[in-house]
Structure 1
Amino acid sequence: MKKIICALAALAAGLVLAVPGASAAPAAAAPAGGSVRIELPPPTGDLAVGRDTLHLVDRHRKDPWVPTEDRELMLSLYYPALARTGTPAPYMSVPEAKALLTDRGQLGEYVTPERVAAVRTHSRVGAVPRATPAGYPLIVLSPGFTMPRASLTVLAEDLASRGYVVAAVDHAYESDGTVFPGGRLLTCTACEEVRPDGSVRRVSDGRARDIPFVLDRLTGPRSAWRYSALIDSRHIGMAGHSIGGAASSATMAVDPRVDAGVNLDGTFFTPVPEGGLGGRPFLMLAGDPALLPPDFPDTSWEDTWSRLDGWKRWLTVTGAGHPTFTDWPVLGDAAGYPHPETPLSGTRSQQITRAYVGAFFDLHLRGLPAPRLDGPTAADPEVLFHRS
């Protein structure tokens, strides 16, 4: 029952209504197994990347899914670092990988939990921070419902290599499995309660309370992070996949510290206020509408578009399925998994995601030119400007 509920909730939390487009053919299937270590694509920026882990507990708020406990969060913090310092960062733990594959069906036939946990990253634990007088803009990443924060590693490492501090957040009891201090594997208790009937909004509403707490603990006078001096708290962005994308706009609606937001293929279960987001910029990046069920009843993107009152773009990606904007197409290709739900190759999936999200934050947090966001380009024929 839990698995069925999770699958339904994840579907509802992730699919969006977008403009029509052509679909691509699925990749050919490959045999199960494989012993070659999977490696994530290297970041495109010039800076080496460090990674730290931070456990946060909000003593003033009870967990929405387990009300007997205080709200807990696990963060992976990526930051510009000095090259060749520290040791390679793990992708995730074996228990986390096992929980993930248990809820991913066929993928488990192509790759083992041990192989997923051993994926080679491009960030390093204990790396010496690369100091800069002005600090680096902060970007918060929130994953999809049931998905761990590790699912956004490719994007997080790339942004850090371009000169950002990135905080990828695991929200307790909202992933298939996340290890918390003491070796506790917290599974998706939220899946038992959430149904795709509007109550999914509890997830995005809750995350809109999580992220302001995260910002307080990262940028406040008593920061919980040892490298908080790296952060330029005057420039903060947020991006999320699926329900994490809905959480981006929901957070912006309640916290003016977030200057710019991105929704990666997520239904806006928490509506954007009628009065907009105070003129702040927002990017909506969606999968291929041709891959959606023909009767999928979502009007949230149309409703949101009319309410956004600042710089805005609505882009769709031909051949992109719901997982396109995460690490899964990259890992699936490497493992030989055909991932028919994401016809676009892992290479193009990560190239497009990193290029457009990076360009958006470069433009709005750092004031750098971002010609990719001006209109269609021959370099990215899959990217369609639905609204601009």
Structure 2
Amino acid sequence: MVFTLEIGIIALALASIIAAVFPSTSNSAALLFLVSLAAGLVGIHLVAFHFRWQMIPVFVVIGFLLVKLLLGWEAGRAAGFIGAGVGILFLATSTVLSLGLPVRTLPAPDGPGKAGVVTINREYIPDSDADGDPAQIRRLQLKVWYPAAIEDGKEFGRETVWSEFNSAEYFSAIERFFTAYLKNMKTHSFLSPPMAVGGTDRPVLIYNHALLSIASDSFLLMESLASHGYVIIAIRHKDQRGEYALLHDDLSDEEKAKEVENFKKLGGKDLERDERSAVSLQVYRDNNTLPVIVKRRAKDTGFVLDNLDSILKDIPGCTEGRCADNQRIGIVGLSLGGAVATEFCKADPRCAAAVNLDGGIFGTNIEVPVQVPYLMLYSERNEGGNDFAKTGADETYEDYTISGAEHLNFADASVVLPGLRYIRLLGSIDGEHMNRERNLLVRDFLDRQL
């Protein structure tokens, strides 16, 4: 619906430009009709679909033509053709943005059940440790996906895509402006329905996001897992930006330069697999910022598990907090969150399985082998980077490379922001194909281990 309306507005604007370039008595009447109709559709678009910044260039064209008609501006033939060329360029820009950053219907979860979601806030002060980590307050936002009971005839609202970006407390006006159009896209996560009946044997997953991200950056994976009976608690670290800035600012210029140089080496496409593993290990050893963040986030994961019953009580229909199996715990992480999952599972016996979605293994115990079943999913560029971790690891260490995937494909950007593929931020793999393959690999591993 949104795309059809936008293409209609762009087509009317193009027809208006053509009518304006070749002025005549009949064309003047046609121009007035076309511009008026286009302006009317713009009004409908703004009311029905909030504000789509992707359409600003075409709005400018229609606004200019409307003012031209109202004021009776006339231009010479040369100026008219130049203006038409600029106008067509504006329309082309809006067309590309509308196609590349669309409002679309999202793929439904592939399991037999429905997915519910609740948002819970928690704060705690961790104990300081021997490494001198300060005992500062940790503010967490938890998003919990779970199998939901949707009664016939009873409607529950659905969460919008990446709704966390709506918060002025954590995101700048520019970020909220560019993500506001996502309010038009509904996920398949129902807001606060009761948990489906089914006993207390559901596995629990803790999800850690990337370095600077949101809890719902992989909501399609969460919905899939919840529809198959998992309870997933995704952790967002509210003060992540300030924490990273403080740690990074404390580095010397020499340390900052070394980190930049190391990441350049790691990003090289011409590395052989064994060479990539050796380079990665050195990068992990030399980094002075990320291991601190990983250690702190691993503590956050421990806090969530320490308070699991209390957190689960906030799910409607789970008043006792015992609607999942606290002995079947999996830890999943994306990018730096993969390092958090690895770090936690090396030290805490509550972890029964770990999943690393294209993350490096930064941390304080880099070369300590992980002794729980472990799934490593790679993008093509990062293939083999963590091979050193296989030494001494549990025999159920599995790794797969998804053909055509880049790092950002492991979040849901490949489905929500498909246009990023054309500026090389996403790989060549189709977004929905990527979503299915990632979800299937993760669920198959977790089903076997948990």
Name the TM-score, length of structure 1 as normaliser: 0.71
User: What is the letter of the counterpart of residue 87 of structure 1?
Assistant: G
Distance 1:78 1:46 in 2: 15
Does residue 190 (structure 1) correspond to residue 244 (structure 2)? The answer is: yes
Does residue 142 (structure 1) correspond to residue 208 (structure 2)? The answer is: yes
Aligned to 1:215: 305
Shift of 1:164: 0.2
**Structure with higher strand content:** 1
Equivalent residue for 2:342, pick from 231, 249, 255:
249
Distance 1:71 1:282 in 2: 28
Shift of 1:241: 0.6
Distance 1:36 1:286 in 2: 27
User: What is the letter of the counterpart of residue 206 of structure 2?
Assistant: V
Query: CA distance change for structure 1 residues 101 and 161 in 2, over 3 Å: closer, same or farther?
Result: farther
- Listed one character per residue, the Cα deviations across residues 129-187 of structure 1 (whole Å, up to 9, x for unaligned) are 1021233100111111111112110111110001100111102322xxxxxxxxxxxx4
Aligned to 2:53: none
Query: CA distance change for structure 1 residues 153 and 339 in 2, over 3 Å: closer, same or farther?
Result: farther
Distance 1:302 1:288 in 2: 14
Aligned to 1:311: 396
Q: How does 1:114-263 map to 2 (within 5 A)?
A: 114-174=180-240, 187-194=241-248, 196=259, 197-199=286-288, 200-219=290-309, 225-226=314-315, 227=318, 228-263=321-356
* Higher mean displacement: 140-149 or 115-124: 115-124
Aligned partners of 1:31 and 1:336 also within 8 Å: no
Query: CA distance change for structure 1 residues 308 and 271 in 2, over 3 Å: closer, same or farther?
Result: farther
Aligned to 2:361: 268
Distance 1:128 1:305 in 2: 42
Shift of 1:193: 2.2
- Secondary structure of the residue aligned to 1:131 is coil
Query: CA distance change for structure 1 residues 223 and 241 in 2, over 3 Å: closer, same or farther?
Result: closer
Aligned residues: 307
- 5+ residue gaps, structure 1, are 1-28, 175-186, 293-297, 366-388
Shift of 1:231: 1.3
Distance 1:36 1:339 in 2: 16
Distance 1:238 1:68 in 2: 24
- 5+ residue gaps, structure 2, are 1-93, 249-255, 260-285
Aligned to 2:150: 83
Aligned to 1:72: 139
Shift of 1:240: 0.6
Query: CA distance change for structure 1 residues 303 and 337 in 2, over 3 Å: closer, same or farther?
Result: closer
Shift of 1:32: 1.6
- Secondary structure of the residue aligned to 2:218 is helix
Aligned partners of 1:277 and 1:310 also within 8 Å: no
Distance 1:316 1:338 in 2: 22
Distance 1:56 1:171 in 2: 10
Equivalent residue for 1:55, pick from 121, 124, 137:
121
- Listed one character per residue, the Cα deviations across residues 19-41 of structure 1 (whole Å, up to 9, x for unaligned) are xxxxxxxxxx9612479633332
- Secondary structure of the residue aligned to 2:351 is coil
Distance 1:128 1:100 in 2: 34
Aligned to 1:284: 376
Shift of 1:223: 6.3
**Structure with higher helix content:** 2
Aligned partners of 1:145 and 1:244 also within 8 Å: yes
User: What is the letter of the counterpart of residue 265 of structure 1?
Assistant: D
Shift of 1:311: 0.6
Distance 1:159 1:198 in 2: 34
Distance 1:225 1:255 in 2: 25
Distance 1:336 1:321 in 2: 11
Query: CA distance change for structure 1 residues 39 and 101 in 2, over 3 Å: closer, same or farther?
Result: farther
Query: CA distance change for structure 1 residues 68 and 252 in 2, over 3 Å: closer, same or farther?
Result: closer
Aligned to 2:107: 41
Distance 2:390 2:173 in 1: 35
Does residue 331 (structure 1) correspond to residue 416 (structure 2)? The answer is: yes
Query: CA distance change for structure 1 residues 223 and 32 in 2, over 3 Å: closer, same or farther?
Result: closer
Equivalent residue for 1:357, pick from 442, 445, 450:
442
Distance 1:306 1:336 in 2: 37
Shift of 1:248: 0.6
- Secondary structure of the residue aligned to 2:118 is strand
Query: CA distance change for structure 1 residues 352 and 101 in 2, over 3 Å: closer, same or farther?
Result: farther
- Secondary structure of the residue aligned to 1:351 is helix
- Secondary structure of the residue aligned to 2:422 is coil
User: What is the letter of the counterpart of residue 201 of structure 1?
Assistant: P
Aligned partners of 1:142 and 1:241 also within 8 Å: yes
- Secondary structure of the residue aligned to 1:139 is strand
Distance 1:273 1:127 in 2: 41
Equivalent residue for 2:96, pick from 31, 35, 50:
31
Query: CA distance change for structure 1 residues 118 and 169 in 2, over 3 Å: closer, same or farther?
Result: farther
Aligned partners of 1:32 and 1:336 also within 8 Å: no
- Secondary structure of the residue aligned to 2:432 is helix
Shift of 1:112: 3.3
Query: CA distance change for structure 1 residues 223 and 151 in 2, over 3 Å: closer, same or farther?
Result: closer
Query: CA distance change for structure 1 residues 132 and 100 in 2, over 3 Å: closer, same or farther?
Result: farther
- Secondary structure of the residue aligned to 1:215 is helix
Distance 2:173 2:433 in 1: 24
User: What is the letter of the counterpart of residue 267 of structure 1?
Assistant: G
Distance 1:142 1:214 in 2: 12
Distance 1:31 1:274 in 2: 47
Aligned to 1:372: none
Distance 1:203 1:358 in 2: 27
